[in-house]
Structure formats: structure tokens, C-alpha cells
Structure 1
Amino acid sequence: NYTLQEILIFIFGFLGTIVIGEILYYFLADKSLKTRTIPLKVITVIIVVLEIIKQIRELVVGYNLFAIPLHFCSLFVFLYPLACFSKGRFKGYAQTTATIFSLMVGIAYIFNPKLIIQDAGQTFFSRFGSFHTVVFHMLVYAYAVFSLFLNVYEAKIGRDMLVVCVSISIYWVIAIVASYSIGVNFNNVLKSGFPPFETFRQTYGNLPYLILIIPLFIMYGLANVYLYHLLNGLVNKRFYAKKRSNKKEEASY
């Protein structure tokens, strides 16, 4: 069940992001790639600043190991700066991972917000932790939406599937080692927040549980690669149509 406050926050965040994406498209679609990436760089700076504030606050009040940025959603603190500010081939890999991972979180957030942020929407205005959780994940959703609207990253399905497979696999290794080493439940390694999976884990044990959820997680990532590829194709058509229209208008003067 969702409270009225949660519903209003989700609706405003979801629809507001789409509206802002349309506005950015209108003003930036015919600009250079460097200009079109500015909104993503702004998101990157905000996310990094929010995380720094969170970490400082944790150190002041008494550090909770759960605040260590090794959760799947915490990866964006590292991925976004690499995607926006690094160079060369590594930048391409970081862009692929950051964009597809953002879409993965965004899709999950749209269909089941509480799976991602739990009850943070209820105390959004009264607790910094809840404010951070909601805003952080909304910005991740916005990163995926703006990447599409501004056509800043061209999908190549074969390459992207390979990159996402490798990136997800590396992350799972890190999450499993960290979870068992310090006893923190990174990415549901130790127990699941999804009742059917948790029932499976309690019935059959952690190893069968991990053998089940890791391939499913990778499959979800690959499905998002395919989805982004389809959406990117539609955006490309829209972009080229707008550019042709602008050229015709310039020629008529």
C-alpha cells in the first residue's frame, strides 16, 4: 500500500522527468554531443555531492556498514563520473554500463518503487536518509531518460550485451565477497527483499538461491540492453527528423 505522499512523490518524479526530458530535447536536440551531455554531468555532480554528504553524516552519527557504497544502486557514484568525464575506449565501456544499469533501476523503480526505496517516500520530508534515497534513485531514472531523449549514447546491441554481462558478473563477485566478509546484505546476497526469492532461499539454502538469482539478474540486464536498443532506434529517427527540419528552416531564410 502507498500513502498519498508516496503517490504524489512518485507521480511528480516520473512525469516531471519525462517533461524535463522533452524540454531538454526541444532546446538541445540539434546541439553538439558535448552540449547534450551537460544534463548528465549535472546529475553526476548532484549524485556525487549527495553521496559525500551521506558518508560524512554517517561518520558523524556513527558509521553503519550498510552505508558502504557497494549496493547495486551505489555503483552510479563511480560509473557516472567515468561515463561523463573519462576518455577513450574506457569511456565507452563506462557509458554502456552506466546507461543500461540506470535503465535497469529505472524500470524496476517504475513498476515497483517500494522494491527499490522501500518506505523512504513516507519520511521524505523528515529524514535525510529517506530524502537521499528518493532523490538519488529519481536521478538515476532521470539519467536513463535524458540519455535517451538527448541521444548521447548510440546502442550497439552485440557490444552492449557483452559489456553488460561482464560488468554484472564482476559486480556480483564483489557483492558476494563483501557481503560474506562483513555481513552486510549487498544486492540481496544474504537474503532477498522479494518474498518468493526469500522463501526459496530459506527452503533450499543460499547457494541454490544465488545460482537462481544471478542468471536472472543478468537476463534482466540483457533485456534492458534490447529495450534500450529499440528505444534508441526510435530516438534516432526523431533526432534526424528534427535536424532535417531545422536545415530546411535555415535554408528558407
Structure 2
Amino acid sequence: MDYDFFDYKYNIFGYSGQDFESVIRILYLIISIFLCPVLAEITRKKGVKTAERIFRFLSVYLIIEEIFKISWESYWDITTGQGFNAGGILPLDTCSIFLYVLPIAAFGKGKAKRCALSWMSTIGVLGGICYLIFPMVLKWYPLFTFGAWHSLMYHFVMVYAGFTVISTNMLEVKRTDYLLGFIPHMLMALIVIPLDYHFGWDYMLLRNASGVPFVENIASILSAMNLNYLTTVIMLGFYLVIAMLFNFININIQKKLNDHDYVHHKHELKYTN
């Protein structure tokens, strides 16, 4: 199988998802599981200011790469006769929210920044982890291609950023923060829902819950009964529960990290004195 880094999926002859079914997928997961917390811990030791500088760089880099990726993929879709893939290429998926909240987390202040940080450390972490486990892009692209690199790197950064938000105390988590994190989610949903229903798309999985275990089957039944709106309600409820769960986990993780730092600091003072 012969291909170049920037080859498009329709031009990679002989590839039918072999990397998704191979040990490569497992290696990607293992490496990511190891590196995400390690990098977050390194960032924690450097402090919040360092984390913010990293977020600023990543927010600019990811936007530039996303624009390039959409342009690159659209060029090939159009020139190969597929047409513009409006139902799949626009940055309107759940994970796309990261693209919009990261600059707010990096450059913003006040409640807006708190909303962004809360989303990143709850729903954003779940979205990233799900993709680490099921990197669907490998069904279309071999590992060493731009198509695969962009998607794998993007979701890795989502998990790293979420971990870093908690480990650095960039967000001192409160019990009701999941509600703040749900605000950017609902703002995106208000844009996506009319588009999904008008064009028959499934951005944010709010119309057909494509690929969501169990819910997809329920959505299919509801669709046959013209009750798609119930799928939307179910999925929004699911996202809210996830935000609540991760917020609770984050409170406990942050407490343990802070307790560890306090004990470590006391020992340092003891030996210094």
C-alpha cells in the first residue's frame, strides 16, 4: 500500500481500516493514557501561568489546523465528485466545542472563562477519552497521514487540557460548576438542532445519536414514530449527567492533589527550618 502523508482517503487504495483493527489502535490508547496525565502533571508543576501560555498556543494552532483541514478535505471532496460534505465536515460536533472554548479559557476572564474551563474538564474530557478508545478516523486513514494525525492529535489535546484544568487549579471546582460547563454546550445545541432537523444531519448526535450504544437503537425506533425530538432530549440529558459526574470526580481529584501539595509543602518547611 503506497500513499503520501497528505493523500486523501479516496486516493489511498487498498486501505479499508486495517490500522483500526490492528495493534496500532491499542498502542495509541496506551501511549495516550500514559502521556496525558504525565504532561498534565508536568504542567501543574510549572504553574497556572505556564498552562495559560500553552492553552494560548494550542488555541491558535488548532484553529489554523482546523481551517486547513476543512479546506484540504473540501478540495478533495469537490474535485473527486463527492461534493461539499456539509453534513460531516463543519465544526459543529460535540468535540468541536473545544475549538471555541479553548481560546476563551486561554484569553478570557470571569464567568465566560469559568464556563469554558468547566466544559473542558467535564464533557470535553469524556469526548476526548471516547475517541482515544475508538479512534474512528483510522477506519478511513492509515496512522501516518494528515487526516489521521489531525483527529488523533486534536482529541489527545482535549484530554490533556481537561486534566490540566483540574491539576493546576486553573478552575477551583465548585459543586454547581457543571451548570456553567453546560452553557457552551447548550449554546452550540441551539445552533445545531435547527440545522440537524432541517437538513437531516446528526451534529452533536442530537437527532439520530449515531454510534451511541443503546441510544442509537432507541433513536431509530423514535425516528420511525416521528419522535426524533425525544432523542434530542435524551442526548442533552445524557450530556448533563456526564457533566455532573465528571464535576463530582474533579472535585475529589482536586482535593487529593491539594492535600498532597499541602503535606509536601509542610515537609519542605520542616526540613528548611
TM-score normalized with structure 1 length: 0.82
Contact 1:40 1:146 in 2 (8 A): no
Distance 1:207 1:200, change over 3 A: same
Establish whether residue 167 from structure 1 lines up as the match of residue 169 from structure 2: no
1:21 match: 40
Query: Which deviates further from its counterpart, 3-12 or 161-170?
Result: 161-170
1:115-151 per-position Cα deviation (integer Å, ceiling 9, x unaligned): xx32527734343222211111111011112223322
State the 1:78 CA deviation. Answer: 0.9
Considering only aligned residues, what root-mean-square deviation do their CA atoms show, in Å?
Answer: 2.5
Long gaps (5+) in structure 1: none
2:15 match: none
Distance 1:204 1:181 in 2: 17
Distance 1:106 1:136 in 2: 8
Establish whether residue 64 from structure 1 lines up as the match of residue 85 from structure 2: yes
Distance 1:35 1:247 in 2: 25
Distance 1:211 1:9, change over 3 A: same
Q: Larger radius of gyration, structure 1 or 2? A: 2
Distance 1:165 1:215 in 2: 11
Amino acid at match of 1:190: R
Distance 1:247 1:52, change over 3 A: farther
Contact 1:72 1:186 in 2 (8 A): yes
Q: Determine what percentage of the aligned residue pairs are the same residue.
A: 21
1:182 match: 199
Contact 1:165 1:222 in 2 (8 A): no
The size of the alignment, in residue pairs, is 242
Amino acid at match of 2:111: R
TM-score normalized with structure 2 length: 0.77
Q: Secondary structure at the match of 2:70?
A: helix
Residue 45 of structure 1, aligned match among 60, 72, 79 = 60
Amino acid at match of 1:101: I
Residue 9 of structure 1, aligned match among 13, 28, 45 = 28
Long gaps (5+) in structure 2: 1-19, 79-83
Name whichever structure is richer in helix by fraction: 1
State the 1:58 CA deviation. Answer: 3.2
Contact 2:205 2:235 in 1 (8 A): no
